[in-house]
Every structure is written in structure tokens, then in C-alpha cells.
Amino acid sequence: MSETTYFVAAVAAIIFKGDRILAMKRSVNKDAGPGLWETLSGRIEAGEDPLDALQREIDEECGLTVEIDPRPVKSYHASRNGHPMILIIYRARYLSGSVKRSEEHDEHAWLTPDEFADISTLHRLVDAVHEAAKLPAF
């Protein structure tokens, strides 16, 4: 009998406020990636549309009002706690509100893409941030 492997599907938002992006530091109590700096992200629930999942995650994790560009910036394969994961990355534009962090993050900052690159060890996400920053406004 073989061991069952599950596959994680997740979305991430690169939220732009002018030329800065919202960086979130994962709580040290998280089971995956504790203490890592990332953009806002979360898993897609079974049967959930990726854009709906992204809006839900934004509402839950920061509470900002944003406009999401429905065209993904990038997608790539990664790993979450040893399980395969596909990550779909979108960009969003800040419209209003103040960041209200959930218990999933300990800190946040509005950073330039280069400042984000200096603190994040998630190299593929850093590349996606730089790519998103070069795209024309939506």
C-alpha cells in the first residue's frame, strides 16, 4: 500500500501602494515558514476559485481594500512542509484601509521591491515581485 501524497494549491498577492509592496513576516508560531518575509498568501480551499481565495486571504490577513489584477504574474512549484505546492501569484493595487494583521503574521512593512529582496529568502517570490513591478499599470 502506498502512502498518499497531497498537493497544496495556494495564491499570493503582491499588493502595490505606489512603488512599494506589502511585505508580511510570518508568525514564529506558523507550521510552515515561521519568521519568513513574504507577500500575502494562503491556500485555496477545495472547490474555491483562485481569485476568490485571494480576496478571502486579503480580507483575513490584512483587511485592506484592493483591486486585484485577474491575470497571474507568475506561477511556480514549491514545497510546503514537504508536500508539493503550486503557487499562483497575482498583483493588486491598494485602494484604502490600514493593515490589520491576523495572528498569522508578526510584522508588516511597505517596501520597495529591492528592500523586499534584501529581507526575503523566498527567491522565486522576490523574482515575481520584480517582474510585477515592471508591468504596466492595470
**Residue from 51, 47, 46, 33 nearest 105 by CA:** 33
Question: Quick check: is 68 in a domain?
Answer: yes
- When the pLDDT of each residue in the chain is averaged and rounded to a whole number, the result is 92
User: What residues does 91 pair with on adjacent strands?
Assistant: 14
CATH number at residue 63: 3.90.79.10
Question: Quick check: is 2 in a domain?
Answer: no
Count CA atoms closer than 13 A to 124's CA, side-chain side: 12
Residues 106-126 have a mean pLDDT of 96
pLDDT at 2: 52
Q: What is the pTM of this model?
A: 0.91
Write out the three cell numbers for 24.
508580511
Question: Quick check: is 118 in a domain?
Answer: yes
* Total number of domains constituting the chain: 1
- Residue-wise pLDDT for 83-101, tens only, equals 789 999 999 999 999 999 9
